Structure 1
């Protein structure tokens, strides 16, 4: 049973909007694209994991995708789980790696060494990463007075083209490193090991509710991350058919002067773009400037058409644009 579905992360959405709207000549474009590709590869790996998890018996397994929960020792810090499986007898934390190339799990230096096209690159050891996540989850469950349940950890390599080697000093931890296709059978092994029912239905319901309540999407300031100024962002309503061509407002439609197509709701994406890049809390003036509109009443109608209602006094009224969670 899927308790929390996997959706495209807020950070990934911000990357996509930034690449659409940053000035084409900006010096940071290559850096942004490189970071975007890495983040997108990780997300695609997690989607691959979801395929294998779909084989599990739905009634016994409660699956949470992409959780980000405040830490027990500092609620300003978070621990993130690519996937969490809750079972009446145990739970499993899964860390996903979608790396291609020759992968060497180096126990001595706490790293993965990835060799690809003759180049070596290092990554933190995901076995240790998921071990830290286990510690945080254990303390989180204890703080919420949940029953003490065995927590297992797995590192799943989802890219079928990767070649895996593991340091002989890894010991029993090597068994935690598996390929995506073996995930269902590995979970079945764990199920055979854990025979005692610890979580009743009411416990699972309570834990599920707490996890969903405390989940907080990662919402970084993408412009600050790459030191980009607001005036380096392209504004306007873009034509869905012609890349980066700004539409003009004619009566109740948006017209593209290149392809001559008209759109009624093209402003909706532009308004969401503003929220992703700058702030989800906007004033009428902010929207007017971004959409290249002059009429305050016309912008107000557009915002109302998106079911966005103002809060605050008339002159200082703001609208809150909902972002994906």
Structure 2
């Protein structure tokens, strides 16, 4: 789970049903979860089945500078004999690639749905990787779902089913070492991490004040916990914990950044006593040089484990 997917999960859980963007957020989260599942299955299959000599490096969710913006890469394979961008699509239906107008649509349950063209997305990604690394790059559109069928194929890039992908990649081998795979991977890993959350929040008109605040009960997931007798307690289901607020701090960080104003911290955690707030933030949100400002200590794994139990 990258930060953007985590931000979608947080917003989906904390936005009230009456919010204007609630339905759109849930729909986008569903699509993102399907995409992430396809990418995970693709990476797992390749690590298990791909038979290439030497070391193969896989990088996921890479954002590479390209022209005035960035190109997002689902999965990037780096080997001493080839570099390949994998555009993973976990979709169902019949797929039609228009090689004249370079448009794309699918037919599902008798309905025609226009969508972003995977071939155009892949072409942009291949160009970005090639320009950034200064090497030749292959590209493949991967169908992660067995319920997807290509009726009209794209013109410039192959579409390969997930089951066939290892064999296809093995056929791309050059037979001689062309690249320093670790050096290329190191250059890519050195790129700054891109946070797509801010623009997404603005597009959906999501602010701190539009969210349900408080420390969410991980059992009920729809109500907030009360701090009583040095524990977080749920009056609905009886759940209790001493550190449930750690998830709330990470949720704030993934949405709005790691800088936390003390005034917002009271509202975020739902406490009023300054001594209680101090104890809760100690070690999790470090006091900054400026009075009333704290920095949340990043622990994304805590969020991944929390939402991993929800979205299995």
Matched, 1:27 2:5: no
Please name the residue that 1:56 is paired with. 50
Larger Rg: 1
Write the deviation string for residues 97-131 of structure 1: whole angstroms up to 9, x where unpaired.
Answer: 11101111221221221111121112232223212
Q: Is the 8 A contact 2:94 2:106 kept in 1?
A: yes
Secondary structure class of the residue paired with 1:24:
coil
CA–CA distance in structure 2, aligned partners of residues 129 and 137 of structure 1: 12
Please name the residue that 1:150 is paired with. 136
User: 1:95 aligned to 87, 95, 102, which one?
Assistant: 87
Write the deviation string for residues 221-278 of structure 1: whole angstroms up to 9, x where unpaired.
Answer: 2431211343321111121222322211113211111223321111111112222333
CA–CA distance in structure 1, aligned partners of residues 114 and 259 of structure 2: 40
Please name the residue that 1:269 is paired with. 247
Write the deviation string for residues 5-34 of structure 1: whole angstroms up to 9, x where unpaired.
Answer: xxx122211111111111222232222211
User: 2:60 aligned to 44, 56, 65, which one?
Assistant: 65
CA–CA distance in structure 2, aligned partners of residues 121 and 156 of structure 1: 19
Query: How many matched pairs?
Result: 298
CA–CA distance in structure 1, aligned partners of residues 18 and 128 of structure 2: 43
CA–CA distance in structure 2, aligned partners of residues 56 and 32 of structure 1: 36
Q: Is the 8 A contact 2:216 2:223 kept in 1?
A: yes
Please name the residue that 2:282 is paired with. 304
Secondary structure class of the residue paired with 2:63:
strand
Please name the residue that 2:146 is paired with. 160
CA–CA distance in structure 1, aligned partners of residues 101 and 181 of structure 2: 38
Please name the residue that 1:225 is paired with. 203
What is the root-mean-square deviation in Å for CA atoms of aligned residues?
2.1
Matched, 1:41 2:41: no
Q: Is the 8 A contact 1:110 1:124 kept in 2?
A: no
CA–CA distance in structure 2, aligned partners of residues 296 and 258 of structure 1: 26
CA–CA distance in structure 1, aligned partners of residues 138 and 163 of structure 2: 18
CA–CA distance in structure 2, aligned partners of residues 84 and 141 of structure 1: 12
Please name the residue that 1:210 is paired with. 187
User: 2:3 aligned to 10, 22, 32, which one?
Assistant: 10
User: 1:255 aligned to 233, 236, 245, which one?
Assistant: 233
CA–CA distance in structure 1, aligned partners of residues 253 and 13 of structure 2: 14
Q: Is the 8 A contact 1:284 1:296 kept in 2?
A: no
Distance 1:288-1:133 versus aligned 2 partners, 3 A rule: same
Unmatched segments (≥5 aa) in structure 1: 1-7, 143-148
User: 1:78 aligned to 38, 62, 70, which one?
Assistant: 70
TM-score normalised per structure 2: 0.88
Distance 1:132-1:94 versus aligned 2 partners, 3 A rule: same
Please name the residue that 1:139 is paired with. 131
User: 2:110 aligned to 115, 118, 121, which one?
Assistant: 118
Q: Is the 8 A contact 1:69 1:215 kept in 2?
A: no
Please name the residue that 2:120 is paired with. 128
Secondary structure class of the residue paired with 1:309:
strand
Distance 1:120-1:302 versus aligned 2 partners, 3 A rule: same
Distance 1:78-1:116 versus aligned 2 partners, 3 A rule: same
Q: CA deviation at 1:185?
A: 0.3
User: 2:171 aligned to 189, 198, 205, which one?
Assistant: 189
TM-score normalised per structure 1: 0.84
